Amino acid sequence: MKTWGGGSDSYFEYLIKYARLFNPDDPIFVNTWQTAVDSSIKTLLRTSTVGNHLYTADFDDQRLIRHVGSHLACFNGGNWILGGKLLNNDTIVNYGLQLADACWNTYASTLTGIGPEAFAYISSDGNFTGGSAPDSSDLAFYAKHGFYITDGVYINRPEVLETNFYAWRATGDTKYLDRAASAVASFNKYLQTPTGYAGLNDVTNPSLGLIDDTESFWFAEVLKYFHISLDEYVFNTEAHPFKAPPAKATYATNTILPGKPFTAKAGPPLPAISPSRFDKGSRNPQ
């Protein structure tokens, strides 16, 4: 699976952040990141038939486009804005801003004002997701909002606000401040408990209750992206700040690495993975 979501997100994030943090002479990290973005622009970008929202699709092992998105993948807008700025590439920055708008729409479109874990959409080439086709309620929601929800849980994820932070820093447009304020209001209304902030079982139906858990990245990332301004630091994938040297004038090499077919190699059995408490079917309302 080729995706900007879980399983690949931190890799793409570190490619461009490594270049900014260490200013290496070897351009391999910048070139690899730019190649990934270039191929994504050519292959993965999709626009919804309702609302013209821009998303990065997934590309599965059967070489099929999956019209899916996720809260995790919504870091991509901020990543493209950061990388585009470092490369002085306005095209990438502008795509990043469009991705930011689409991901914010997943917040603005729900009853709670909080975005879902996963969603899907329809573009000019179809609505294949690798799973079930949208039902009538999905299509009705899509007709209003340009996406439909496939997993409505919220587990304190930061990525939409992370991208919103980069969009604000890049543009100074106060609409991004308004979006952050809206998220704060929603979190205070729907997630706050006497002892902290919980997850939500369904962003479209708060009556289904809270998840009795607060993820560490709520403190490490979400709360930082609401207010910080640290020009001399690079955030790692958990938003821990690392002091960076003065930036180069540009990091651009305009080098796209040559592509070649990927051949999977057989290896030893993968280790067992413990089931996540956030897997569908294992969540208990509180």
Q: How far apart are CA 141 and CA 146, in angstroms?
A: 8
Pairing of strands 233-235, 210-211: unpaired
Residue 19: left (phi > 0), alpha (psi -120 to 50), or beta?
alpha
Q: How far apart are CA 22 and CA 17, in angstroms?
A: 9
CA-wise closest residue to 245 among 232, 228, 231, 229: 232
Active site residues: 117
CB 102 within 8 A of CB 165: no
Report the residue count for the chain: 286
CB 146 within 8 A of CB 53: yes
CB 119 within 8 A of CB 74: no
Q: How far apart are CA 118 and CA 109, in angstroms?
A: 14
CA-wise closest residue to 212 among 225, 202, 227, 199: 199
Residue type, 254: N
CA-wise closest residue to 82 among 148, 12, 143, 158: 12
Pairing of strands 118-120, 68-70: antiparallel
